[in-house]
Amino acid sequence: MDMAMWGGLIALFVCVLIGIPVVFSFAAAAGFGLYFVLGGFEPTISLLERTAISGIREYNFVVIPLFTVMGMLIAHCGAATDLFRVVNRLLKGIPGRLAVATVGGNAVFAAVTGVGVAAAAAFSHVAYPVMRDHRYQPSFAVGCIAGSSVLGLLIPPSVFMIVWAILTEQSVGILFAAGVFPGVVLALLYALYCIVYAKMFPAAAGEGSGDQDSSPLTRSNVMGSLGVGVLIVVTLGGIWWGYFTPTEGSAVGLLGAAILAVAKGMRLRGLFQACITAGQTVTPIMLLLMSAVIYSKLMALNGVPQEVQYLLEEMGLGPAGTMLFMAIVWFVLGALLDSISIMLLTVPIFWPIATALGFDPIVFALVGILVIEAGVLTPPFGIGVFVVKAAIPDRNIRIGEIFKGAAPYWVLILFVAWLVYEVPAVATWLPGKVLS
């Protein structure tokens, strides 16, 4: 790498370390590096303009705001509460029932939202007060909410997977299908952990005496849950079986979510507020994508992927060692940056290397997504933990308690990443069946 690339890298890390938002750090570092590569101000501005526009006008990018609005409508209309209450009632007699219901509700909720932040915010308001009313230990309760909220990054229609597919030019539908089994396995492991922990430490789960939410289910609860189920079948089923593309599926899902929200009593003001909240979530993602595309242009002009590939070949790590090296990089960055930023920074470099080494693209995608997903729960940044802290009704909860409670879920995420690497069929079987 030449001095221009090193200058861009140094500028990026300096901007991040002094607290400049990552989106502006990407843009500033790219502009700084391109200025030296192109040798002038005017060609740099011209390239930045062309790259920024081409980076966000992709038709596939429409999926991100549509699925996000869909998820926010489901969260705001009360369907998350319906899911929690119905799943909780179905789990009668299971130790740690409310925690397991939180995991189950998050798993289903993830299948219609695609945004982990939405799940973290929704279940902080829905599940936490009920668990505290039944004398759940605070760290166990908030850890369950934070840990299970990341299921939305893996279970389709994950916005995370959409971004990965765009960066690597893979099929969104194939990645959606690939995420189903690992997502289900992770959710089951979460539920098993909650049950075992409640059996080993009954006091943490209300000593069993208060773990029964006896309030009757209403017709609205049942209809809301059924509506969510129909949305999952129609949206994801339609994509997998070829009735419509992921972009068309996101539009169909949004229409269905709007109908469900209106049926649940949401009025124009509520619909508008859900769209505003979705916009606040989507805008940073789109700006990050635009800035990352610009930064990727700088790396391509300087041959960074080739340089890194050559470096790894010289180290003689082999495929397994290279995968471990990438995982360590993702893990370290996970403690410092948000997940989307990590993906945008590393995938353009790592993807060509993985392709050259012959990694299965689906397996590599799932392992990468899972390891980066663990960063959502990794201190000191852990954006999922901070979302729960901001949304939780209890102001006395400390960040440290949430990190402590989420630690077992972090371990289970890494275990599933290892499982996908060792047993690729966990991720590849369903895409092969559905899309064959």
pLDDT digits (tens, 9 = 90+) for 401-427: 888 988 999 999 999 999 999 999 999
Question: Is residue 95 within 8 Å of residue 199, measured between CB atoms?
Answer: yes
d(CA 225, CA 77): 12
d(CA 131, CA 205): 8
d(CA 371, CA 143): 18
pLDDT averages per 10-residue partition of the chain, 436 residues? 59 69 70 70 71 61 77 78 80 84 82 66 76 86 87 81 85 87 93 92 70 65 84 80 79 88 86 82 70 66 67 76 87 72 81 87 93 82 73 77 90 94 92 68
Exposed (0-12), middle (13-18) or buried (19+): which is 316, by Cβ within 10 Å? exposed
Which positions ≥6 away from 219 have C-beta within 8 Å? Answer: none
Question: Is residue 290 within 8 Å of residue 55, measured between CB atoms?
Answer: yes
Angle at 252 between CA 272 and CA 235, to 5 degrees: 120
Domain boundaries, the chain: 1-57, 58-434
Length of the chain: 436
How far is C-alpha 407 from the geometric centre of its chain's CA atoms? 17
Per-residue pLDDT, 52: 63
In three-state secondary structure terms, 149 is helix
Question: Is residue 156 within 8 Å of residue 180, measured between CB atoms?
Answer: yes
Per-residue pLDDT, 211: 44
What 8-state DSSP symbol labels residue 99? H
Question: Is residue 158 within 8 Å of residue 46, measured between CB atoms?
Answer: no
Per-residue pLDDT, 2: 54
CA end-to-end span of the chain, whole Å? Answer: 42
Per-residue pLDDT, 58: 62
Per-residue pLDDT, 124: 75
Question: 27, 22, 62, 23: which is closest to 47 by C-alpha?
Answer: 27
- Number of Cβ within 10 Å of residue 400's Cβ equals 11
Per-residue pLDDT, 209: 44
Per-residue pLDDT, 297: 65
